[in-house]
Amino acid sequence: MFGSIVLGVDESNHAKRTIEVVRRMAKASGDHVIVVHIQALGTYGRGGPMADEDMSQATAFVDGVVKDLGADGVEAEGLVASADKSRIGRSLLDIAKERDAGLVAVGTRGRAEATTLVLGSVAHDVIHESEVPVLVVRDLDA
């Protein structure tokens, strides 16, 4: 259907819901899934920007998602990259373009605050900047 899907993940509930939706889609269509986690660089020390999380934990999480998808018959691979917090959405889109993905899938909490959009900032950035279709999965329990 899409050829390949870039699936943006973290350990949030909305990302877990997105994984399940993409699993069903890819299983039915035979699409290849590229599981991507972008480490947020947000803390600046003497040496410059530092990740807010441990690389080995991020890699283990992505590897677990890839393994789980594979066990269900979905062809998948994983990728962990780093970007400034304000560029996570753009980084997902750069990877999608590099990999010639036909779809980008992300999750959102779907909460509305008085002065902000309903979508999270990553989902918002992806929707507004993507050159390919975007699937946004909302966490209904949020």
Nearest 10 degrees: CA dihedral of 75, 94, 135, 65?
Answer: 40
* Strand ranges inside the chain, DSSP E: 4-8, 32-45, 48-51, 76-84, 103-108, 134-138
CA atoms lying within 13 Å on the CB side of residue 59: 3
pLDDT for 50: 61
**Domain spans in the chain, listed from the N-terminal domain onward:** 4-138
Per-residue pLDDT of the chain (142 residues; tens, 9 = 90+): 899 999 999 998 999 999 999 999 999 999 999 999 999 887 665 656 566 667 889 999 999 999 999 999 999 999 999 998 889 999 999 999 999 999 999 998 765 543 344 456 889 899 999 999 999 998 777 5
CATH class of 4-138: alpha beta
Q: Which two tokens stand for residue 82?
A: 């780093």
Under 8 Å between Cβ of 102 and 3: yes
pLDDT for 94: 98
pLDDT for 76: 98
